[in-house]
C-alpha cells in the first residue's frame, strides 16, 4: 500500500494525455481514509483511459461531486447508550477469547521450536509463528512469552545455516517488536544486535539482509545505545550501495535513531562511518540525503570540542558536500530545519577547526552565502530575536553567525585564532573576495531597516572586516559601499549597541584611512552625528536628524535588551554556547558611547571643525544660499501679489538649483537635507500654504491660481530634457535624491509579534465571543473619575481581540456602561448563554486555554476583519465613549493592537511580542460629549468647494493629504514625503498639467497656431517612486502573524498606503490589498510561518483557502449563466469552479476559460455598453450572440453615453444598467478568485473605477480625435475671453476667432453629441447650431455628456455590482495601469530567460533536450495572436496572471509524451488544471511547429475525457 501524499513517479504515465481540467484535490494529499478510498475508486473505475491524437478533454476527478455536496456537513450516525454498551461488551469478549487462543498457540509453538531439530518442521513452525504474530495484539503476548521467544529466535539467527529459517526467525522478531514493543529489550539482552550485525557483515542472501535492516530499525528506536555498541552503524552502512533505495532509507533511519542519543565523547565506530556517510551525501534521493545530514549534524555536535576530530570530518569532504547542499542551485531540496542545521555544522567547523576555516575560504564560501542572503531577502521574515521562530532557527542569523566565525579578531588570544588571522594576512585576495561578496550586502541589510539583532550582527561583521583588511584593499571596497553615508544612517539609530559599533567602525577607518575618508565623513554628516553625541545642545537647530539623547536613552536600551533574553553585546558571540556571564548584564556602561565619540573627535577631527559653520562644506553652503534666495523671493512675491517678472525669476532660480542637483558636484544626503532645498521647493509649489496652521482664516482662493501656475512651471522644468526623453529628465535626479533621503530619515517601526505564542485557537470575549487564531490582549476597563452618567463595570480582566477597532470595542462597552439601559434582547441573552457554554468547555481560566475542538471558519474571521476595517473608515458617526490608555486618548479608527503599539513606540525602539501578550492593560472610558469638527484644519475648506470644480481635485488631494501621524509636520521626513507625493502626482497628471499650460500659452498669444498645442509628454516610470526600504519593511510586517487584517499592522502601514501607495512595489500592495479585503486565512498563516524561504506565490491559487462552489454553465448562454451565478454567489466569499453542461471537465482550466468567454461576450456589439457599438438597440437590429462582432476599441473600452431625455432609451437603458451591474460583479469576483479577464478597458475607465475625476484632457485617451478637437475649441474660447477683456467688443478680435482658418459657424455643428445624433445636448432652441458665442457652452456640454452625465448611471451600476463582492474603494492603492495588470494579467514579451526560469521539464525532458530547445524557439517566434492561443490551450486563459510566467501555479510543466512509432503524427495534449503540456519528441522543428499550431487553434472549445 502506497503512502498517503507520497509522490509516485509512475503517476504521470497513467494520467490521460489530453487537455484535462481537474480539481485541485487531485494534486494534494488526502486528509482522511475516506478521501483515499474515494480517490482510488474513481481511479480504478476508469481503467481504459488512453491518449488520443487530438482531444481537449478533462477528467472527472475526485472533486467532481455535485454542487450541493460542497455544502453538506458531515453527518454521523448516532446510537442509544444501551446498544453502544452491548457492542463494546461484545468487542471485549472477542479480544479476550482471541488473546486466550493466542496464548495457547504461543505455548505450543514455543515447546515445538525448543524440541524440534528438523529443518522443514522448524520452517513450518516459524511460518505459523509469523502468522500469529502478524495478527496478535499486545494483550496477547506476556512478558515471559516474549522473553522465551526472543531466546529461541535470536539463537536461530546466530547458529542456523538454513537461510529460510534465519529469514523467518528475523521476520518473527520484527513482528514481535511490532506486537509487543517491550520485546526489543529481550532481544538486546540475548545478543540480538550482534547477531544481526554479523549477518549483515557477511551477506549471503539479500532477503535475509533486508530483514535484518527491518529488525534493527525496530530495535534502534528503543535501544540506540545498544545498537551503537553492537556495531550496527557500520553493519548497515558497509554494503549499503548493494541495496535498493528503499532499503538504503531504512539503513539511514537506523543510523539516525542511533545518533539521537550519542555519548559526550563520540565513539570510534561512529567516526569510522563518517567517510561512508559523507559519500552518501552525493546521492540523489532527498530522503536519504536528509537523513545522512541529520547524522552528520549530530556527529558534528558531539565532536565540536575536539579540533582533531573536526579536522577529520573536513578530510572526508563534509564541507564540500554541505556547501553543495546549501547552494541554491542544488538538486536536493532540504527542509528548513536541516538547512539551518547544516549551516550550524559549518559554524562549528569554522569555529573549532583551522582546516575547516581555510577550506571554507578556498571553496569561496562567501559567494554561496551571498546568494543565500540575496535570495532569502534579508529584510523579509527576520525575527526580533535569532533564537527560535515557530520552532525553526532563523536562517539569516545562522548565515550571519557563520560570517562572524570566518572573521577572527586581530587581538586573538588563543593559538587557533592566531592561526586564522595569520591565514587571512597571508592570503589578502581571499579576504578581498570575501569583502567584495559580503560587504555591500551587509550595508544594504542595515540600511533597509533590519531589526536591532540583525543590525548588530551585520555591524559586528563589518567591524571585524575593517579591522582585518589592509588599507589599500579597504579604500575601494568602502568607497563602493558608500560607507560614509551608511555610517551617517547608523548614527540615527537610538540603541547604544548600534551606536557603539558604528563608532568603532568609524575609529578603525580613520586610523587606517583618515586622509581618504575624513572629508567624506564631514560631507555625509558623520562628523556632525558624532559631535552631537558629545554636545547635543549645539545641534538642536540642525535639520538633519542626529541622535542627541545618549544619556537619557541608556536605561531604555538596557531594558529592551533584557526583554529579548540575551543582551545585544552577545548577539553573535564567537562561542557556540554562551556562558552564564554572556546572558547577564550589558557590557556597556552609561558613558561608553560618549567616551568613544569624544575620543574620535579629539584625535581625528581638527579643532576648527568644532565650529559648526567651519565644518560646513562648500556645496552645502551654496545650496543654503540658493534655498535662502528662493525663500526670500517667495516672501517678496507674496507681498507684491506675484507679478509675472517675479515668476520668471523664481523659475530661473529653480532651473539653477536643478542644474546643480543633476549635473553639478555630487551632493550627499546630509547636504541635500540640511540645505533646506526640500522645504523651499514645497513652499514654491504651494505658495507658502504648505504649513498653514489650523484655524487660519486667510482665503485660499487668492493662492489657487498661483499654485496651478507653479505646478505647471515645475512640471515644465522637471519633465523637459534636451537629451533622449524619459532618460535624463531632471525629475529623475530629484526623485532619487528624495528616495535616498527618505530611506535615511524614516524610522517606521517593524513590529514582529510572533514571539511568545503558539499557533492555536484563542478565545476572546470582546467585542464578540469567538475563537481566533491569534493571541488576545488582556484588558481591564475602568470608569473615568467623575463620570456619574456612566455605569461602572466590574474590573475583571477581559480577553480582547487585538485587531478589532476601538469603535467596535466602544460598541461592546456602551450597552454595559450606559445609564439608560434597555431590556435585554433575545440575541443578547443567547450570546451570554453561548459565552457561558464556551467557558464551561474551556474551563475556568478562559483567558489562556486552547480551544482545539472549537473551529471558526476562516472566511467568517476574514469577514469580521473586513467589516472592522470598513467601520474604521466610516466618518460622521460620533463616538459615544472616549477611551484612554495611560492617560492618553485613543483614536477610534485604530485597533487596540495599534493603540498599544503607539504607546510602546514612544517608549522604546524595539518592541517585544512577549510583553504585548503578557501585560494587562487598563483602559479608561469617559463620555464623549460634544466633539468638535476637525475638518477645518484642511487647506481647502467647504467654502472653497466651488473653486475645486474649476480645474480638478488634483491640487486639493495633494495639498490636503494626511501623512503618517508618526511624522511631525514640518520634520525633514514629512517634507520629503510631501514633495515626493507632489512629484508623483505631477508625473501622473503630466499631460493634463502641461496641456493646460499650452492652452494658456495659446490664449496669451505665446503660441500662434492650434497645431502647436499638441504635445508629447515624457513620464517617469512608477518604479522610480518605489522605496525599496519601505517596501521591505511592509513585506516583513505582512509576514508576521498579526497581519491577518489591517488592524494587525502598525499604523504607519495603513497611513502610508492611504496617502503614498506609490512608495510600495506593486507586489507588496497586492499582498496588502488581499489582507485588507479578504483577511489572512488560517491555512495561509500556518503555511507562511513554516515556509522554507519566506516566499510565497501569489498567483492564481492564492484564494485556495476559500470554500469552493461548483457551478453549471451553458456555453450557448454564457452571460445568462454568469448572471445567475453572480446573483447567487457575488456576496459570498467562495471560490467558484465552472463545469460546462454536457461536459465532464471541472477545475481551474474550465473556470479560466469561463472568465475568458464572459469577457468576450461583454465586448460584442449590440449590448449598448461601449463607445463604438453602433449595432445597439437604437439600430433595431437584434442579432444572435454568435453573429455579433466585437466592438472596435483600439484605445480601450469606455462606456457609451446614454441620454436621459430620449423616450426609447427608457426601454433599453435598464438592460444596459443590468449588464454593467453584472460586469462589476464579474470583475470583482475575478479579483477575489485571482482569475484573469480578457478584456481591454481604456485608462479613463480604470480611473473611474478608482473613483478619480475625469476632465476634458482624459477624452484623448479613448477618443483622440474628439479629445483633440475639444482641447482646440477650449483654447479658442480662452483666447477669445482674454481678448474680450483687453479690447472692446468691436475690436478685430473676431477675426482671430477661427478654427484652422475656418469660422466656427462654417463647421455646421449642432448641439448633439458627436457620433450620437440622438443624444441632444440641450433642449434650448437658441442653441440649435454652434457659433462663436456658444462654443464654450458646447465644449462644456460635450465634455459633460462624455465624461459625466451620459455615463454616470452606468458607472454607478458597475460600482453597485462590484460592491456586492467587496468595497471598490480598496482598489485605490493601485494606479490605472496597475489595476489593468490586476484584472487582465500580463502581456509582456516572452524572454527566453523568463521562460527557462519559470518552466519545469520532466519525465524525459531537460532544458537542453532538442525538443525543448525547438519548443522555446517556436513560442518565442509566435505573434501576439499565437501566444494568446498557446496560453489558452495550456492554461485555459489567453493572458498570463499578474507577475507573468512566474505567477503560474503550478508551474508550466512540459513532459515527454510517449507515443506510438509514428510520433510525427501525434499531437500535443495538455491538462489545463496543472498547466501541464505533454509534447511528443518530434523529428524536426518544422513538424513540431505545425502540430503545435494545429493543436492550439483546433483543440479548444470543450473539456471531455478521452
- Retrieve residue 963's grid coordinates: 501623512
> Can you tell me the distance from the alpha carbon of 286 to that of 1474, in angstroms, rounded to the nearest whole number?
24
> Can you tell me the distance from the alpha carbon of 775 to that of 847, in angstroms, rounded to the nearest whole number?
10
> DSSP readout, 177-196?
HHH-TTHHHHHHHTTHHHHH
Compute, in degrees rounded to 10, the torsion defined by CA atoms 770, 771, 772, 777. 70
Instruction: State how far Cα 871 lies from the chain centre.
Output: 25
Helix (H, G, I), strand (E, B) or coil at 1197: strand
Could you tell me the CA-to-CA distances from 338 to 86, 327, 334, 759 in Å, in that order? 51, 13, 6, 22
Residue 239 CB-density burial (10 A; 0-12 exposed, 13-18 middle, 19+ buried): middle
Closest to 918 in 3D by CA, of 1071, 784, 797, 1074: 797
3-state SS of 628-683 is HHHHHHHHHHHHCCCCHHHHHHHHHHHHHHHHHHHHCCCCCHHHHHHCCHHHHHHH
> Can you tell me the distance from the alpha carbon of 753 to that of 654, in angstroms, rounded to the nearest whole number?
47
Closest to 1171 in 3D by CA, of 1310, 1271, 1312, 1266: 1266
Q: Side-chain half-sphere of 152: how many Cα atoms within 13 Å?
A: 26
What is the per-residue pLDDT for 2? 36
What is the per-residue pLDDT for 573? 60
> Can you tell me the distance from the alpha carbon of 731 to that of 1021, in angstroms, rounded to the nearest whole number?
11
What is the per-residue pLDDT for 1323? 75
- Residue 562 preceded by cis peptide, ω within 30: no
Helix (H, G, I), strand (E, B) or coil at 840: helix
Closest to 889 in 3D by CA, of 925, 853, 943, 839: 925
What is the per-residue pLDDT for 1069? 94
Quickly count helices (H) and strands (E) in the chain: 62, 16
Cβ–Cβ under 8 Å, residues 228 and 269: yes
* Residue 1142 falls in which region: left (phi positive, over 0), alpha (psi -120 to 50) or beta: left
> Can you tell me the distance from the alpha carbon of 1355 to that of 1349, in angstroms, rounded to the nearest whole number?
10
pTM of the model: 0.77
Residue 686 CB-density burial (10 A; 0-12 exposed, 13-18 middle, 19+ buried): buried
> DSSP readout, 770-822?
EEESS--EEEEEEEPTT--SBPPPP--EEEE-TTSBHHHHHHHHHHHHBSSPP
Q: Are strands 1108-1113 and 797-800 parallel, antiparallel or unpaired?
A: unpaired
Could you tell me the CA-to-CA distances from 1181 to 246, 351, 1184 in Å, in that order? 72, 85, 10
> Can you tell me the distance from the alpha carbon of 352 to that of 308, in angstroms, rounded to the nearest whole number?
9
What DSSP element (H or E) covers 1007? none
Mean pLDDT by 10 residues, the chain (1506 residues): 34 37 36 35 37 38 38 37 57 56 78 80 89 83 88 87 88 90 91 91 86 92 91 92 91 93 82 92 89 92 88 90 84 81 92 92 92 60 37 69 88 73 90 93 81 86 93 90 90 86 94 90 89 78 65 49 59 47 64 89 76 72 91 82 76 90 84 92 87 52 78 88 65 93 87 61 82 85 86 84 86 82 48 46 37 34 40 53 87 85 66 70 84 42 36 69 80 93 92 89 85 84 92 85 76 92 94 86 44 40 68 90 93 89 79 91 91 63 57 90 69 88 96 92 95 92 93 90 66 60 88 89 76 90 93 95 95 94 83 79 86 90 87 86 81 84 84 86 91 83 50
Closest to 677 in 3D by CA, of 696, 653, 713: 653
Closest to 666 in 3D by CA, of 618, 629, 714: 618
Helix (H, G, I), strand (E, B) or coil at 1334: coil
What is the per-residue pLDDT for 1175? 63
What is the per-residue pLDDT for 1449? 80
Q: Which residues are catalytic?
A: 1473
Amino acid at each position: 500500500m502506497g503512502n498517503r501524499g507520497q509522490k509516485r513517479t509512475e503517476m504521470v504515465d497513467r494520467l490521460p494525455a489530453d487537455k484535462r481540467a481537474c480539481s485541485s484535490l487531485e494534486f494534494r494529499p488526502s486528509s482522511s481514509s475516506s478521501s483515499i478510498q474515494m480517490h482510488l475508486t474513481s481511479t480504478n473505475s476508469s481503467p481504459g483511459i488512453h491518449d488520443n491524437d487530438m482531444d481537449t478533454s478533462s477528467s472527472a476527478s475526485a472533486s467532481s461531486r455535485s454542487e450541493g455536496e460542497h455544502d453538506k456537513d458531515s453527518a454521523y450516525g448516532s446510537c442509544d447508550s444501551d446498544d453502544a454498551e452491548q457492542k463494546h461488551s461484545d468487542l471485549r469478549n472477542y479480544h479476550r477469547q482471541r488473546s486466550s487462543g493466542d496464548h495457547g498457540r504461543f505455548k505450543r509453538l514455543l515447546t515445538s521450536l525448543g524440541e524440534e531439530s528438523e529443518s522443514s518442521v522448524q520452517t513450518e513452525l516459524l511460518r505459523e509463528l509469523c502468522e500469529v504474530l502478524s495478527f496478535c495484539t499486545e494483550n496477547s503476548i506476556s512478558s515471559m512469552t516474549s522473553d522465551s521467544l526472543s531466546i529461541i529466535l535470536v539463537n536461530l539467527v546466530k547458529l542456523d545455516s538454513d537461510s529460510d529459517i534465519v529469514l523467518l526467525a528475523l521476520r518473527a522478531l520484527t513482528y514481535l517488536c511490532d506486537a509487543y514493543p517491550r520485546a526489543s529489550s529481550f532481544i538486546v539482552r540475548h545478543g540480538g544486535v550482534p547477531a544481526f550485525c554479523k549477518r549483515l557483515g557477511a551477506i549471503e542472501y539479500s532477503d535475509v539482509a533486508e530483514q535484518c535492516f527491518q529488525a534493527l530499525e525496530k530495535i534502534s528506536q528503543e535501544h540506540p545505545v545498544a545498537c551503537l555498541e553492537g556495531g550496527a552503524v557500520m553493519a548497515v552502512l558497509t554494503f549499503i550501495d548493494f541495496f535498493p533505495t528503499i532499503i538504503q532509507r531504512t539503513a539511514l533511519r537506523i543510523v539516525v535513531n542511533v545518533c539521537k542519543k550519542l555519548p559526550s565523547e563520540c565513539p570510534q565506530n561512529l567516526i569510522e562511518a563518517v567517510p561512508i556517510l559523507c559519500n552518501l551525501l552525493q546521492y540523489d534521493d532527498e530522503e536519504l540525503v536528509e537523513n545522512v545530514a541529520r547524522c552528520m549534524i549530530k556527529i558534528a555536535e558531539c565532536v565540536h570540542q575536539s579540533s582533531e576530530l573536526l579536522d577529520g570530518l573536513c578530510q572526508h569532504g563534509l564541507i564540500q558536500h554541505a556547501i553543495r547542499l546549501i547552494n541554491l542551485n542544488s538538486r536536493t531540496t532540504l527542509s528548513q530545519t536541516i538547512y539551518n542545521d547544516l549551516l550550524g555544522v559549518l559554524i562549528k567547523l569554522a569555529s573549532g577547526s583551522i582546516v575547516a576555516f581555510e577550506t571554507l575560504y578556498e571553496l569561496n564560501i562567501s559567494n554561496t552565502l551571498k546568494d543565500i542572503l540575496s535570495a532569502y531577502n534579508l529584510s523579509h521574515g527576520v525575527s526580533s530575536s535569532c533564537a527560535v521562530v515557530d520552532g525553526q532557527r532563523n536562517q539569516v542569523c545562522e548565515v550571519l553567525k557563520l560570517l562572524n566565525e570566518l572573521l577572527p579578531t586581530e587581538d586573538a588570544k588563543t593559538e587557533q585564532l592566531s592561526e586564522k588571522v595569520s591565514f587571512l594576512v597571508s592570503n589578502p585576495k581571499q579576504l578581498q573576495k570575501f569583502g567584495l561578496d559580503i560587504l555591500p550586502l551587509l550595508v544594504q541589510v542595515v540600511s533597509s531597516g533590519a531589526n536591532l539583532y540583525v543590525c548588530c550582527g551585520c555591524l559586528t561583521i563589518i567591524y571585524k572586516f575593517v579591522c582585518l583588511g589592509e588599507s589599500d584593499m579597504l579604500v575601494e571596497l568602502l568607497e563602493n559601499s558608500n560607507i560614509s553615508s551608511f555610517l551617517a544612517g547608523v548614527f540615527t539609530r537610538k540603541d547604544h549597541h548600534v551606536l557603539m559599533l558604528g563608532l568603532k567602525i568609524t575609529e578603525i577607518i580613520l586610523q587606517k584611512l583618515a586622509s581618504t575618508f575624513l572629508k567624506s565623513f564631514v560631507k555625509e554628516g558623520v562628523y556632525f552625528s558624532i559631535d552631537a553625541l558629545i554636545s547635543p545642545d549645539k545641534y538642536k537647530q540642525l535639520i538633519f536628524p542626529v541622535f542627541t539623547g545618549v544619556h537619557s536613552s541608556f536605561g531604555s536600551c538596557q531594558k529592551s535588551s533584557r526583554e529579548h533574553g540575551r543582551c545585544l553585546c552577545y548577539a553573535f558571540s564567537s562561542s557556540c554556547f554562551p556562558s552564564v556571564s554572556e546572558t547577564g548584564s550589558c557590557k556597556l556602561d552609561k558613558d561608553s558611547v560618549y567616551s568613544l565619540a569624544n575620543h574620535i573627535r579629539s584625535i581625528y577631527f581638527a579643532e576648527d571643525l568644532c565650529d559648526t559653520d567651519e565644518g560646513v562644506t562648500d556645496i552645502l553652503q551654496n545650496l543654503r544660499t540658493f534655498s535662502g534666495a528662493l525663500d526670500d523671493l517667495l516672501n517678496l512675491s507674496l507681498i507684491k501679489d506675484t507679478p509675472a517678472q517675479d515668476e520668471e525669476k523664481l523659475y530661473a532660480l529653480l532651473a539653477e538649483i536643478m542644474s546643480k542637483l543633476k549635473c553639478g558636484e555630487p551632493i550627499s544626503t546630509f547636504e541635500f537635507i540640511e540645505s533646506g532645498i526640500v522645504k523651499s521647493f514645497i513652499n514654491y509649489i504651494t505658495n507658502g500654504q504648505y504649513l498653514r496652521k489650523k484655524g487660519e482664516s486667510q482665503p485660499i482662493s487668492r493662492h489657487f491660481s498661483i499654485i496651478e501656475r507653479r505646478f505647471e512651471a515645475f512640471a515644465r522644468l522637471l519633465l523637459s530634457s534636451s537629451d533622449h526623453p524619459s532618460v535624463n529628465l531632471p525629475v529623475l535626479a530629484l526623485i532619487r535624491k528624495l528616495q535616498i533621503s527618505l530611506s535615511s530619515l524614516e524610522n517606521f517601526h517593524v513590529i514582529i509579534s510572533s514571539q511568545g505564542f503558539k499557533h492555536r485557537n484563542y478565545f476572546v470575549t470582546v467585542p464578540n465571543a469567538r475563537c481566533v487564531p491569534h493571541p488576545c490582549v488582556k484588558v481591564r476597563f475602568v470608569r473615568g473619575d467623575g463620570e456619574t452618567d456612566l455605569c461602572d463595570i466590574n474590573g475583571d480582566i477581559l480577553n480582547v481581540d487585538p485587531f478589532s477597532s476601538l469603535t467596535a470595542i466602544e460598541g461592546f462597552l456602551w450597552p454595559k456602561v450606559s445609564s439608560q439601559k434597555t431590556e435585554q434582547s433575545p440575541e443578547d441573552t443567547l450570546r451570554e448563554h453561548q459565552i457561558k457554554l464556551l467557558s464551561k468547555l474551556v474551563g475556568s481560566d478562559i483567558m489562556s486555554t486552547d480551544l482545539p475542538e472549537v473551529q471558526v471558519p476562516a472566511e467568517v474571521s476574514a469577514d469580521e476583519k473586513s467589516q472592522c476595517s470598513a467601520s474604521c473608515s466610516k466618518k460622521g458617526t460620533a463616538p459615544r465613549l472616549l477611551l484612554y490608555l495611560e492617560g492618553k486618548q485613543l483614536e477610534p479608527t485604530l485597533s487596540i493592537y495599534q493603540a498599544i503599539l503607539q504607546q510602546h513606540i514612544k517608549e522604546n525602539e524595539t518592541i517585544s511580542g512577549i510583553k504585548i501578550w503578557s501585560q494587562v492593560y487598563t483602559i479608561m472610558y469617559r463620555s464623549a460629549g460634544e466633539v468638535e469638527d476637525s475638518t477645518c484644519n484642511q487647506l481647502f475648506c467647504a467654502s472653497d468647494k466651488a473653486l475645486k470644480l474649476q480645474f480638478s481635485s488634483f491640487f486639493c488631494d495633494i495639498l490636503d493629504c494626511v501623512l503618517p501621524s508618526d511624522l511631525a509636520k514640518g520634520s525633514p521626513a514629512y517634507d520629503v514625503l510631501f514633495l515626493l507625493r507632489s512629484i508623483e502626482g505631477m508625473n501622473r497628471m503630466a499631460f493634463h498639467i502641461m496641456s493646460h499650460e499650452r492652452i494658456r500659452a495659446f490664449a496669451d498669444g505665446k503660441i500662434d497656431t492650434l497645431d502647436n498645442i499638441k504635445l508629447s509628454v515624457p513620464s517617469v516610470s512608477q518604479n522610480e517612486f518605489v522605496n525599496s526600504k519601505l517596501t521591505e519593511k511592509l513585506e516583513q510586517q505582512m509576514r508576521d502573524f498579526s497581519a491577518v487584517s489591517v488592524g494587525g499592522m502598525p499604523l504607519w502601514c495603513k497611513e502610508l498606503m492611504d496617502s503614498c501607495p506609490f512608495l510600495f512595489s506593486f507586489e507588496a500592495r497586492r499582498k496588502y490589498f488581499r489582507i485588507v479585503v479578504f483577511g489572512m486565512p488560517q491555512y495561509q498563516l500556518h503555511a507562511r510561518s513554516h515556509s522554507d524561504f519566506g516566499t510565497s506565490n501569489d498567483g492564481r491559487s492564492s484564494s485556495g483557502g476559500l470554500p469552493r462552489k461548483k457551478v453549471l454553465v451553458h456555453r450557448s448562454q454564457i452571460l445568462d449563466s454568469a448572471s445567475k451565478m453572480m446573483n447567487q454567489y457575488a456576496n459570498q466569499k467562495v471560490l467558484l469552479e465552472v463545469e460546462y453542461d454536457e461536459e465532464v471537465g471541472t477545475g481551474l482550466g474550465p473556470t479560466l476559460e469561463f472568465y475568458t468567454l464572459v469577457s468576450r461576450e461583454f465586448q460584442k456589439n449590440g449590448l449598448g455598453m461601449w463607445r463604438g457599438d453602433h449595432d445597439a438597440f437604437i439600430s433595431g437590429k437584434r442579432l444572435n450572440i454568435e453573429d455579433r462582432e466585437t466592438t472596435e476599441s483600439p484605445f480601450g473600452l469606455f462606456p457609451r453615453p446614454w441620454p436621459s431625455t430620449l423616450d426609447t432609451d427608457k426601454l433599453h437603458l435598464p438592460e444596459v444598467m443590468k449588464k454593467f451591474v453584472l460586469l462589476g460583479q464579474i470583475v470583482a469576483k475575478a479579483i477575489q478568485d485571482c482569475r484573469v479577464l480578457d478584456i481591454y478597458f481604456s485608462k479613463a475607465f480604470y480611473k473611474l473605477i478608482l473613483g478619480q475625476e475625469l476632465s476634458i484632457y482624459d477624452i484623448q485617451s479613448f477618443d483622440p480625435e474628439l479629445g483633440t478637437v475639444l482641447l482646440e475649441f477650449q483654447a479658442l474660447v480662452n483666447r477669445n475671453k482674454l481678448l474680450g477683456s483687453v479690447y472692446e467688443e468691436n475690436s478685430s478680435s473676431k477675426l482671430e476667432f477661427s478654427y484652422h482658418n475656418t469660422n466656427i459657424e462654417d463647421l455646421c455643428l449642432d448641439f448633439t453629441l458627436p457620433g450620437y445624433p440622438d443624444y441632444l445636448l440641450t433642449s434650448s432652441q437658441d442653441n440649435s447650431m454652434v457659433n462663436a458665442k456658444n462654443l464654450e457652452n458646447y465644449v462644456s456640454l460635450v465634455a459633460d455628456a462624455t465624461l459625466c452625465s451620459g455615463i454616470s448611471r452606468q458607472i454607478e451600476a458597475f460600482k453597485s455590482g462590484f460592491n456586492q463582492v467587496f468595497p471598490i474603494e480598496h482598489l485605490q492603492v493601485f494606479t490605472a495601469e496597475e489595476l489593468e495588470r490586476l484584472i487582465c494579467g500580463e502581456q509582456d514579451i516572452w524572454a527566453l530567460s523568463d521562460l527557462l526560469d519559470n518552466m519545469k521539464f520532466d519525465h524525459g525532458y531537460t532544458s537542453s533536450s532538442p525538443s525543448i530547445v525547438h519548443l522555446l524557439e517556436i513560442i518565442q517566434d509566435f505573434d501576439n495572436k499565437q501566444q494568446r492561443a498557446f496560453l489558452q490551450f495550456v492554461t485555459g486563459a489567453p493572458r498570463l496572471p499578474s507577475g507573468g510566467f512566474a505567477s503560474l501555479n503550478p508551474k508550466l510543466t512540459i513532459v515527454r509524451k510517449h507515443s506510438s512509432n509514428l510520433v510525427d503524427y501525434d499531437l500535443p495534449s495538455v491538462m489545463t488544471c496543472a498547466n501541464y503540456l505533454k509534447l511528443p519528441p518530434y523529428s524536426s522543428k518544422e513538424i513540431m511547429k505545425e502540430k503545435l499550431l494545429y493543436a492550439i487553434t483546433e483543440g479548444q472549445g470543450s473539456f471531455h475525457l478521452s
